[in-house]
Structure 1
Amino acid sequence: MIIKNGLVYGEDGSFSKADIEINAESFRQIAPKLPENGAEQVIDAEGLYVIPGLVDIHFHGCAGYDFCDGTIEAFDAIMQYEMEHGVTSVSPATMTLSEGQLAKIFENAGKYENNRGSKIRGITMEGPFVSSAKKGAQNGSYIHRPDMRFFEKMQKLSGGLIRQVAVAPEEDTDFAFIKEVTKQTHASVAHTTADYDTAAAAFAAGADHVTHLFNAMPPFTHRAPGVIGAAFDAKEVSVELICDGIHVHPSMVRAAFAMFGADRICMISDSMMATGMENGDYALGGQPVKVVGRLATLKDGTIAGSASNLLDCLRAAVKEMNIPLADAVRACTATPAKALGFYGECGSITAGKSADAVLLDKELNLVKVICRGKAVN
């Protein structure tokens, strides 16, 4: 396959007109002009942006299914939906559930033959090691103190797929869990009441990520900068940001990009099962959720994930929040892939990497998706 004449997003964050050759499931070469001789398929991308396949490292479901359903049917439907909407690499997230429920989910995910749709490159373990005071849509009945035995059991069942684990550092005595778990995976500060000093100590102990910045944590103020200020000062820390127009005000999205830069922001969808579905009643982590438009809430009004996919979020960031396209693309591709350690496999249009690409028109409408070297639509 050859993709010709597109405005290709490069590793340096710039767009330049180029052709892309794909061999089997990998990018073979990118050059200003490539011959078409022998190509099985030629796609003319004249006037289109060609960006890497998007990478969502924190979402719960879509298309009427939740990752925590833990079934092949659910996994297949979720991966198909994500791929069709330009999200070609994912790290779906679990919720705070019982140990038995989580064990089954991780076991089934570890056995899942992910040959179709988006590629599962990891799992995000969101809960149960969170704070009751900042549980958000997590089920308080199953919140658990940080526990290496618990984590290692889930990691073994998953076949080593857990790429990050959420933890409220104030619940981690002497940061013993963070120090130990980061020998195996990434620790993300999440659902927490931590102040600046506690968060800074957690980062010093090895945590290198923040789950959905601004949400389920103390606010960022001039005398109490909290987790947000501590993350800003810890330059190796990446942060997640939900740009669905509900979770974070556009002004704060712009402020976050100014503070952290696109090299440290991982745009996520945090989507739940209602994404791609009609308004109505759904569930998240076993709790009832009502969805109206982009807004998903529990009975008490707590925001419960989003009803937007990552491409929707990218589009909103650019068109509604005035984030430069190049920055939004980086935050949806290279940065999350680097944050969870699989940038060598995906996240940029680079020879040797998985041939995942998204073609967008100048209004950022989806034109075509290429996933592992095959045209999806």
Structure 2
Amino acid sequence: MKAVTAQHILQDGQWRKDTALLVSSGRIADVVALQDIPAETPCQDFGPGFLAPGFFDVQVNGGGGVLLNDRPDPDGIRTVANAHRKHGTTSLLPTLITDCWDVMQRMADAICEARQQGIPGIRGVHFEGPYLNPDRKGVHDPAHIRAFEEKFIDLISAPDLGAVLVTLAPEKAAPDFIGALVAAGATVAAGHTNATYEQTRAAMQAGLTGFTHLYNAMPPFLSREPGVIGAALESDAGFCGLIVDGFHVHAATLKAAIRAKSASRMMLVTDAMPPAGSNLKTFRLGGQEIHVSNGRCHTADGTLAGSSLTMDEAVWNACDMLQASLAEAVIMASATPAAFMGLDHQIGQLKPGLAADILFMPEGERRVIPVEPA
């Protein structure tokens, strides 16, 4: 066992002083006052700065030069996870965007193998598609967007797959299908959709609880047609992913959404592509060349194609662009996604019994340092 401390430690949404984490066998054994650290216990004191829970990104398409659709194998997953870990993401859902069945099966098999190998941080998988609305496809390949397949239920039911997130268009998926996904253990989110408010509410009654990159790839929020966004903001229970990169959504729009629902229901996500954590300036997505210009990933015609964002950048952006406090930004990057995926009993906070996924954020600096557990 060892004690880990710093000037500030995030506890119950507040920064506390004169506190230490007792860490043993990869878990937080206890949280104690400095004077209560057991005698002879080695202490790792990081000094001025902040100890926070590791970030959890539920939408990671790639990173470190790798696109998971091209590398749905354990080595590809490892490369992506390692690239994001350097930026504070200690847990993630590797994400496969719309593709053919063979690639979906390979991704599921790779996730199971990666978890069996103990690749750090792989909490499950996110299938973003293929059950989407082609009218809101973004950069998803319309050739692979299709109707529900019964065999998908079997695919996501693999016992070693971990937590499963499925993004679909509610108007293209019957409530019975959504209910079957939830019964199989999946978390279901709306995205790449033209659903009406009524269709979205029906999907929520069937078990849908999330909204993938709110505002993007969905109809606008209008006074007499609230649509998906209206249903998301109205709901006390639904969770929303936000891409805070300065390109996907205007800061004022994001601030209004957070005020409507609070940091406990708004998640920071990266929607990261291969340039995240690398120096790539171009990459290929399907048959398209994607360009990276000043951090913006886009096609030749200007269509956004994911992001080059890392989660530490998303946290700082939330503070700078949205005037969120550091505690609020960290909560949106850790505790909230953990609650969304039903993993808050494992990760997301610095509490006894949870994984010792700990970050140190030096005071006055824009960097994060993952703390190696005892």
TM over 0.5: yes
Inter-partner Cα distance in structure 2 for 1:355 and 1:198: 41
Asked if 2 retains the 8 angstrom alpha-carbon contact of 1:293 and 1:307, the reply is no
Unaligned runs of 5+ in 1: none
Kindly indicate whether residue 267 of structure 2 is the aligned counterpart of residue 259 of structure 1: no
Q: Secondary structure at the match of 1:92?
A: strand
Contact kept in structure 1, 2:115 and 2:122, CA below 8 Å: no
CA distance in 2, matches of 1:273, 1:76: 13
CA distance in 2: counterparts of 1:48 and 1:80, whole angstroms: 24
Query: For residues 103 and 195 of structure 1, what CA distance do their matches in structure 2 show?
Result: 31
Identity of matched residues, %: 26
Q: Deviations over 1:31-72 (max 9, x none)?
A: 2214374334x3223221111001111111111012221122
TM-score by length of 1: 0.93
Q: When the two structures are superposed, what TM-score results if normalisation uses the length of structure 2?
A: 0.93
Map 1:181-196 onto structure 2 (within 5 A): 181-184=181-184, 185-196=186-197
CA contact (8 A) 1:3 1:20 kept: yes
Tell me the amino acid that sits aligned with residue 210 of structure 1.
F
Residues 1:349 and 2:343 are matched in the alignment: no
Alignment of 1:198-213 (within 5 A): 198-213=199-214
Query: Shift in Å at residue 73 of structure 1?
Result: 2.1
SS at match of 2:264: coil
CA gap of 1:89–1:66, structure 2 versus 1, over 3 A, is same
Amino acid at match of 1:297: H
Structure 1 residues 339, 253: CA separation in 2 closer, same or farther (over 3 Å shift)? same
Cα deviation, 1:233-265, whole Å, max 9, x if unaligned, reads 222111111111211111112111101111111
Q: Which residue of the partner structure matches residue 330 of structure 1?
A: 331
Contact between 1:83 and 1:117, CA under 8 Å: does it hold in 2?
no
Alignment counterpart, residue 107 of structure 1, candidates 98, 106, 109: 109
- Alignment match, 2:241: 240
Residue 94 (structure 1) shift: 0.6
Q: Which runs of 5+ in 2 are unaligned?
A: none
What secondary structure does 1:152 align onto? helix
Counterpart secondary structure, 1:341:
coil
**Residues 43-54 of structure 1 aligned to structure 2 (within 5 Å):** 43-54=44-55
1:268 corresponds to: 269
List, as ranges, runs of 4+ consecutive aligned residues in structure 1 with deviation greater than 4 Å. 113-117
What is the DSSP-based 3-state SS (H/G/I as helix, E as strand, rest coil) of the residue aligned with 2:267?
A: strand
Amino acid at match of 2:241: E
Cα offsets for 1:344-366 (capped at 9, x unmatched): 11100011111011111233522
1:84 aligned onto 2:83: no
Q: How far does residue 299 in structure 1 lie from its aligned partner after superposition?
A: 2.8
1:280-320 CA distance string (max 9 Å, x none): 21123564211122100123321011101111101111023
Corresponding residue for 2:40?
Answer: 38
Output the aligned Cα RMSD. Answer: 1.8
One-letter identity of the residue aligned with 1:154: L
User: Which range moves more in the overlay, 122-131 or 361-370?
Assistant: 361-370
Structure-2 separation of matches of 1:74 and 1:142: 22
Instruction: Tell me if the contact between 2:87 and 2:368 (Cα under 8 Å) persists in the aligned partners.
Output: no
User: How far has the Cα of 1:128 moved from its partner?
Assistant: 0.2
CA contact (8 A) 1:128 1:144 kept: yes
Q: Distance in 2 between matches of 1:114 and 1:84?
A: 22
Per mean C-alpha deviation after superposition, the further-off stretch among 118-127 and 71-80 is 71-80
How far apart in 2 are the matches of 1:273 and 1:226?
A: 32
